[in-house]
Amino acid sequence: MDILEMHYWWILIGLGLLLAELMTGTVLLLALSAAAFITAVAAYFNIGLTGQLVTLAICVAVFAPIAIKVIRPRLSPKGINYGSVGSGAENGKMFDIVARDFDSAPGIKIHGDFFHAKLINALPSDPPLQPGDRVIFDHFDGTTAQVTRFKAT
């Protein structure tokens, strides 16, 4: 049993990727790990390095989309689209102003994350935003949510 045989290296790579998957929860590393384990099987049957890399590429091409499109949504909480903040999905939606815990800064919460809120085209005579005010989200300027006051008609 020679430790330098290629299938052992592929098993170690697969275990390393599996350990990284356990720490990150990205699901993509799970697909890469499965591809490495299948490549270890190919290496066990003395397929050359080129064949092993082709096996790895085919497995990644099959498993990565499955992991992203099928497995990841089943592991995510319902109703939450991670990565959607800032993509324009919230534009035009109404939010209530909340106060940040440590400094009482006014802001809105989107998917549980606090964003400092600033009025668009605010005049010096306009009253500042207060917790409970209803605002309409317009866009982000950096990490600051640019909002307008909701005017009930």
**Does 104 reside within a domain?**
yes
Instruction: Evaluate if residue 82 carries a pLDDT over 70.
Output: no
- Same domain, residue pair 60 and 120: no
The H-or-E segment that residue 96 falls in is strand 94-96
**Does 69 reside within a domain?**
yes
- State which residues form the domain around 53: 6-75
Give the residue-averaged pLDDT of 45-53: 94
Coil vs helix vs strand at 65: helix
Enter the pTM of the model. 0.54
- Same domain, residue pair 30 and 69: yes
% of the chain residues with pLDDT over 90:
66
Instruction: Evaluate if residue 11 carries a pLDDT over 60.
Output: yes
DSSP, res 147:
E
Give the residue-averaged pLDDT of 67-72: 87
Give the residue-averaged pLDDT of 40-46: 95
Q: How far apart are alpha carbons 57 and 54 in whole angstroms?
A: 5
DSSP, res 126:
S
Contact present, 10 and 29 (Cβ < 8 Å): no
Number of domains the chain is built from: 2
pLDDT of residue 74: 80
pLDDT winner (highest mean) among 35-39, 76-80, 81-85: 35-39
Q: Any idea what the CATH number is for the domain that residue 142 is in?
A: 2.40.50
pLDDT in tens, 122-134: 888 999 999 999 9
- Same domain, residue pair 38 and 68: yes
